[in-house]
């Protein structure tokens, strides 16, 4: 083996790099075509089966993967220079000088007496070719097809989602999505009601968003992936808002450990409500001047108890106000005490509104999650929880069911027993005997009768007719000949010395035979 001349090596490296990128491009085209075709198929499949991934996402992921793969192909180093040598020879019209030199240098072909001259010749040719050695950019095959498939896939991923074929799981899921839309509309109404009664500002702001989502779900073309995405987006939004509210509540109750919120606060009848009622009562008592003197001790004791026992249950500011009210009342400043008490009540009412908001968001999140689960499950059996709540509709009893159950002496609603072979309900038993008596038969014997003919009378005469025969197809039809016989015949004909002017005649004859077959 000898060394490849430097000029040849430089030329080959340049060509090899171009080839690698060309191949990368071809890979990209092929990969893009496959990804687009897969996305197209995915979009069409979505009209039959509910799918969680949108076709546009499949298309984008496929395209990204194909392009990454192609990029990797283009960047990878080229080791075998033989293909580059062949292409360089062909494209730069080097008359196979470079590839022969490379083969000689690498020992792929045995060295000859002229090997040195081949190498010198290749080096000189490469030197001349190097300055303008630019390969024409090759347009990889299938580029147009790739563009077409990508366009179709993009169109399909925009237009097809939401369409579903009748009597398919996809259609059932679409129905389910609409149903969930209607249900969420009810949830939105509940939220509005709650916002009015509880004066919950966040609930008031959330209700239109839930209603908007509900209406979107009831639109004609809404597929599962889009519905789930919309619900998930709103869920995330509500989760963030709820976290903020929780943070505020925690800070109001205990600034040192804001995350710890007592569970009792979230119960519908909370300690907070009781406290507010109690404080209002105390405030009313303070307003009555004549009772103040007589019941001061009792009032002060209640205030002290409230401010002390409300640690972790009442906002710190409210407790401070309660303490202030107690001190002022004790000092005889009834007006000041009442004012502080009123401020404490306002603090508590503020917290109550925040808690109502938090509860409303929590409820909405739960409903959204439920809808999300139902849509994701599609047309499958509903959960035990739904069955318990009577949300699943039982199949209406068939005609005759009631009568059948009454006959059997069972309560309506009990599962059917393996039963009689009558009525219109599907029986579970087997027919052991024929139903009813046998129908009457004709009491008669079969008789065989025939009509007798009459023998002909007269003379029998035979005449021989001479004349042309009637044209009719041959009795032995032409059949396919065994391929072995055909081959032998061909070989014999090829060997036979058929005069040149008669060959055409013979050929026509055999072609006519072949047509008759």
Contacts to other proteins by CB under 8 A: 19, 22-23, 26, 82-83, 86-87, 89-90, 95-97, 99-104, 108-109, 112-115, 117-118, 121, 135, 138, 490-491, 493-494, 498, 500, 503-504, 506-507
If the CB atoms of residues 135 and 174 are measured against other proteins, the closer one turns out to be 135
Q: Which residues contact 185 (CB under 8 A, 6 or more apart)?
A: 211, 214, 215, 218
Mutual orientation of helices 115-129 and 97-106 as an angle, nearest 10°?
Answer: 130
Largest CA distance in the chain: 158
Which CA distances in Å does 389 have to 371, 393, 395, 412?
A: 15, 11, 16, 21
If the CB atoms of residues 118 and 286 are measured against other proteins, the closer one turns out to be 118
We find the least distance from the C-beta atom of residue 42 to other proteins, in angstroms, to be: 30
173-180 contacts at long range (C-beta below 8 A, 24 or more positions apart): 173/50, 173/224, 173/375, 173/378, 173/379, 174/222, 174/223, 176/374, 176/375, 176/378, 176/379, 177/217, 177/222, 177/224, 177/227, 177/375, 178/217, 178/218, 178/222, 180/217, 180/227, 180/371, 180/374, 180/375
Using alpha carbons, select from 202, 185, 305 the residue that is nearest to residue 245.
202
If the CB atoms of residues 103 and 365 are measured against other proteins, the closer one turns out to be 103
SS3 314: strand
Q: Is 443 left (phi over 0), alpha (psi -120 to 50) or beta?
A: beta
Task: Give me 285's structure tokens.
Answer: 């008592």
Length of the chain: 517
We find the least distance from the C-beta atom of residue 38 to other proteins, in angstroms, to be: 24
We find the least distance from the C-beta atom of residue 115 to other proteins, in angstroms, to be: 6
We find the least distance from the C-beta atom of residue 81 to other proteins, in angstroms, to be: 11
We find the least distance from the C-beta atom of residue 83 to other proteins, in angstroms, to be: 4
We find the least distance from the C-beta atom of residue 32 to other proteins, in angstroms, to be: 17
SS3 481: coil
We find the least distance from the C-beta atom of residue 99 to other proteins, in angstroms, to be: 5
Contact between 127 and 101 (Cβ < 8 Å): no
We find the least distance from the C-beta atom of residue 114 to other proteins, in angstroms, to be: 4
Q: Taking the mean position of all CA atoms in its chain, how far away is CA 446?
A: 72
Phi/psi of residue 314, each to 5°? Answer: -115, 150
Other C-beta atoms closer than 10 Å to the C-beta of 158 total 11
If the CB atoms of residues 8 and 351 are measured against other proteins, the closer one turns out to be 8
If the CB atoms of residues 98 and 207 are measured against other proteins, the closer one turns out to be 98
CA distance 255 to 118: 90
If the CB atoms of residues 16 and 32 are measured against other proteins, the closer one turns out to be 16
If the CB atoms of residues 145 and 280 are measured against other proteins, the closer one turns out to be 145
We find the least distance from the C-beta atom of residue 104 to other proteins, in angstroms, to be: 6
If the CB atoms of residues 139 and 266 are measured against other proteins, the closer one turns out to be 139
CA distance 195 to 396: 39
Question: Terminus-to-terminus CA distance in the chain, angstroms?
Answer: 65
If the CB atoms of residues 450 and 492 are measured against other proteins, the closer one turns out to be 492
Alpha helices in 434-499, H assignment, sequence order: 483-495
If the CB atoms of residues 266 and 509 are measured against other proteins, the closer one turns out to be 509
We find the least distance from the C-beta atom of residue 487 to other proteins, in angstroms, to be: 10
């Amino acid at each position: 083996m000898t060394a490849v001349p430097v000029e040849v090596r430089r030329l080959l490296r340049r060509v090899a790099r171009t080839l690698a990128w060309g191949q990368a491009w071809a890979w990209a085209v092929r990969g893009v075509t496959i990804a687009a075709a897969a996305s197209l198929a995915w979009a069409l499949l979505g009209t039959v089966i509910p799918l969680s991934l949108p076709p546009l996402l499949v298309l984008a992921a496929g395209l990204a993967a194909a392009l990454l793969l192609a990029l990797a192909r283009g960047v990878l180093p080229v080791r075998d220079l033989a293909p580059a040598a062949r292409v360089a020879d062909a494209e730069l019209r080097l008359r196979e000088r470079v590839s022969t030199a490379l083969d000689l240098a690498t020992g792929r072909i045995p060295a000859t007496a002229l090997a040195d001259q081949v190498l010198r010749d290749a080096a000189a040719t490469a030197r001349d070719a190097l300055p303008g050695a630019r390969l024409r950019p090759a347009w990889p095959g299938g580029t147009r097809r790739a563009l077409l498939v990508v366009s179709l896939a993009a169109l399909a991923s925009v237009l097809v989602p939401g369409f579903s074929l009748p009597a398919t799981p996809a259609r059932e899921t679409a129905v389910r999505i609409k149903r969930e839309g209607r249900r969420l509309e009810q949830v939105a109404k509940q939220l509005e009601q709650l916002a009015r009664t509880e004066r919950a500002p966040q609930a008031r702001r959330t209700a239109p968003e839930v209603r908007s989502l509900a209406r979107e779900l009831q639109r004609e073309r809404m597929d599962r992936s889009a519905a789930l995405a919309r619900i998930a987006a709103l869920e995330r939004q509500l989760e963030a808002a709820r976290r903020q509210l929780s943070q505020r509540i925690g800070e109001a109750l205990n600034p040192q450990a804001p995350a710890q919120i007592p569970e009792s606060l979230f119960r519908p009848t909370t300690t907070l409500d009781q406290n507010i009622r109690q404080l209002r009562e105390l405030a009313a008592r303070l307003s009555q001047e004549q009772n103040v003197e007589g019941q001061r001790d009792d009032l002060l004791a209640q205030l002290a108890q409230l401010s002390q026992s409300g640690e972790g249950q009442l906002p710190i500011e409210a407790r401070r106000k309660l303490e202030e009210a107690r001190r002022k009342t004790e000092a005889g400043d009834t007006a000041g005490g009442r004012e502080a008490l009123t401020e404490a009540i306002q603090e508590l009412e503020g917290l109550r509104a925040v808690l109502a908001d938090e509860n409303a968001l929590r409820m909405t999140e739960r409903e959204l999650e439920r809808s999300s689960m139902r849509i994701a499950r599609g047309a499958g059996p509903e959960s035990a929880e739904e069955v318990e709540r009577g949300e699943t509709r039982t199949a209406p009893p068939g005609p005759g069911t009631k009568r059948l159950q009454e006959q059997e002496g069972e309560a309506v609603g009990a599962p059917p027993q393996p039963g009689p072979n009558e009525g219109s309900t599907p029986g579970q038993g087997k027919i052991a005997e024929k139903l009813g008596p046998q129908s009457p038969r004709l009491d008669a014997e079969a008789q065989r009768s025939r009509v007798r003919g009459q023998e002909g009378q007269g003379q029998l005469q035979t005449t021989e007719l001479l004349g042309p025969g009637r044209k009719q197809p041959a009795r032995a039809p032409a059949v396919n000949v065994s391929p072995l016989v055909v081959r032998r015949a061909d070989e014999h004909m090829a060997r036979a010395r058929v005069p040149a002017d008669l060959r055409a005649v013979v050929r026509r004859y055999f072609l006519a035979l072949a047509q008759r077959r």
